[in-house]
Amino acid sequence: MNKAIELKNITKIYNHRVTALDNVSLTVNSGEFIVVMGQSGSGKSTLLQIAGLLDKSTSGTVLINGRDVSKLDKNQLAEVRKNSLGFVFQAFHLNSHLRLYENVMVPMLINEKYKKKSDMQKKAMELIEKVGLTHRVSHYPSELSGGEQQRVAIARALANDPDFILADEPTGNLDSKNELMIFEELKKLSKSGKGLLVVCHNDAVLDFADKVYIMKDGVLEEKNDEKQQS
Amino acid sequence: MKNSNLNMLVRASIVSNKILSCFFCFFVMLSTVLIMLSVNIIIPLSDNIQTKIINHITNREIYDTYRGKTDEQTIKNDIKKIKKLDHVEDIYLMPYSLTVSETSGVYFSQHMLDCFHNGYEPTITAGRNFKKGDDKVALVPQIMKDFNESENQINEIDGKSLIGKTLKFSDENQNKIKVKVIGAYRTVDPLFSGDEIIIPRTALIDYNNRVKNNSDIPSSVSEEKEYKILVDDAKNVERVLNEASEITYVSKANPVVDASSYSVAMMILLAISVLFTVMVILGIYMFLKNNISSRIDEIALYRSFGYKSKNIFYVLFTEHLIFGLISIIAGLIITQLLCTFIINGYVYSLVGNSLMEMSVNVTLIPSLGFIAVFVLILILISRKSVKISEKTDLTILLRS
């Protein structure tokens, strides 16, 4: 079975009058790097919220790996988020009182897959190595640069080995040098088979995306001059 | 998944909320002190009211009086029937207290030669109480006021100083009795007027008989026989009185002590405790609710990772349980220190010289009870807080 997030005819209306998403359909397959661009308020973050099961649509269907999640209860949705989705946020959302490796371990703490704490630590170390921060493993977030913090967030998103990574403006708080570094990290993930849905308004991402969509007034359109990456 | 894995988050939460945590600890500690003080006053007060006042021996006694002419067989039959009644602990002949003078010069004024009621436990302040088989021995008041007519002054005689001495008493008909003082007793019970020399009941009966046989002047000693019916509990007195009155003539004396004023004091203390407990519940609830509000990002993040309500509950509950237990233990220590150095002195100044025997101390069962109630309240409030956190809008993670 092809692993995919499928959004079918999604409409999201706030307060019965503001249409944030208007009949949007989108598929994120495993190994794909999908970028959604658009101006502030265009509805791209709403799309990410619905794809990430952080919010429910007014109408339409969300399928994750072929399973309709629209009617799942809170606990079932939590299970899907835990096992299939990883998040990267613009504001990093690292716990400032946990060391780097402990931050990476946070999603693992509720995962039955890890029987022992040492297993979690081992996995966290592997992920930290993957994002090139081995030398910072015992540091606290406040001792890291913005780029480093976002790399920690990427490592944390991979903690439970999800099929998909959803990133919301992952470079929004970073300088251009760190932007490229983060996009490169994300690209590596898609090459390793993870499906990526990145919401961004930074043109630098275009060099890394497999498909680019433009969101405008709640309507999603694929950008014609999409750039295929090898 | 073991919940203990989440202890890492508990530790981080504790570290991240230092000021709020200190406030919470102080609140729980203060509440512990206030509630434990109230409870630890209520418990001995309630016990005192029940055992020393409501169930005071004079509130559990019924008089069964016979005229001197009543034949022994009738008395025997009555006693036998009364003994069979429910709730009757004892029925015994109560000898009359006799006015006597001490002839060896220890006391100058006249005193009463008396005995303890059956079932009465005196407080011995020096020496010892009677033992089975004791006969010519006596207990004297802890302190007795003795009027020396020739010097025209009242002397205070310390009962302790008489222990080991032999007292020689004589009534108006020169019936003599010689007793050795073996101890001193506390006279704060309204049962005593303060000048009774207590001898064993058998010795007093014997002395009563001698007085009766050698008396020139007719007295109650020769006129009547008074039996006392001891009931197991004051609440059963009316019932026994009704049943016994069908057998013979019985009566009840007016209560020597009254519990009403003490009961009011206890109700006030109880109300204060309830008020404190409600304050604690509201305080913890408000604290946890604010805590959830201030940590909404953190909780939303956990939920985005797939944390369920039970996981969030564990983090919140454990964090506050740790604070709570530390604060309660500190509160218990402070309560005991307050009791030792302040409260007990004050309580003694209030009731020390009364029927009450009260000292306020932190004891195990109320302390464990308090901890159990705290944990229960914490569980309920944590659950409620987690329910509130379920409404957390996870999209806030994308807005910041």
Mean pLDDT confidence for B276-283? 85
A112/B1 Cβ within 8 A: yes
Residues 14-43 of A with CB under 8 A from B: none
Condensed to tens digits (0 to 9), the pLDDT of residues A118-156 reads 999 999 999 999 898 999 999 999 999 999 999 999 999
pLDDT at A227 > cutoff 50 = no
Instruction: Flag if B1 and A120 touch (Cβ within 8 Å).
Output: no
Q: Give me the CATH code for the A4-222 domain, please.
A: 3.40.50.300
The mean pLDDT of B387-391, rounded to a whole number, is: 84
Please indicate whether, in this complex, the C-beta atoms of A110 and B6 are within 8 angstroms of each other: yes
| Å between B271 CA and nearest CA of chain A | 43
Q: pLDDT tens, A196-219?
A: 999 988 888 889 999 999 999 999
A44 in contact with chain B, both atoms CB, cutoff 8 A:
no
Per-residue pLDDT tens over the stretch B291-328:
878 888 888 899 999 999 999 999 989 999 999 999 99
* Nearest chain B residue to A50, by CA: B395
Chain B touched by A81 (CB under 8 Å): yes
Interface test with A, best of B297, B386, B398 (most A CBs within 10 A): B398
Residue B305 to residue A49, Cβ atoms within 8 A: no
Q: Tell me the chain B residues in contact with residue A168 when contact means C-beta distances shorter than 8 Å.
A: 397-398
In this prediction, the answer to ipTM > 0.95 reads no
Residue contact A110–B395, C-beta within 8 A: no
Alpha carbon of A49: minimum distance to chain B alpha carbons (Å):
6
- When CB atoms are compared, the residue of B5, B304, B390 closest to A117 is B5
Is residue B231 predicted with pLDDT exceeding 70? yes
pLDDT at position B217 over 70: no
Band (B220; pLDDT cuts 50, 70, 90): low
Residue in B with minimal Cα distance to A115: B1
Which residue do the tokens 């004024």 mark? B109
CA distance B289 to chain A (A): 21
pLDDT in tens, B43-53: 888 888 888 88
Q: Which chain B residue shows the shortest CA-CA distance from A74?
A: B308
Chain A residues whose CB is inside 8 A of the B13 CB are 97
Q: How far is B336 from chain A (nearest CA, A)?
A: 37
Shortest CA gap B280–chain A (Å):
29
A57 touches chain B (CB under 8 A): no
pLDDT tens digits, one per residue of A98-113: 999 999 999 999 998 8
| pLDDT higher than threshold 60 for residue A228 | no
- Residue B222 confidence (pLDDT): 61
Instruction: Specify the pLDDT at position A230.
Output: 40
Is the Cβ pair A95, B298 closer than 8 Å? yes
Task: Kindly write down the DSSP assignment for every residue of B260-288, as one continuous string.
Answer: HHHHHHHHHHHHHHHHHHHHHHHHHHHHH
Whole-angstrom CA distances from A174 to A99, A149, A153, A178 are: 21, 10, 13, 6
Q: Does A54 touch chain B (CB under 8 A)?
A: yes
Report the run of H or E that residue B250 belongs to, with start and end: strand B250-251
Nearest to A49 among B12, B16, B398 (CB): B398
Domain boundaries of chain A, sorted by first residue: 4-222
Chain segment B257-273, per-residue pLDDT in tens: 777 777 787 888 889 88
Chain B within 8 Å of A150 (Cβ-Cβ)?
no
Q: Counting runs of H as helices and runs of E as strands, what totals does chain B give?
A: 12, 13
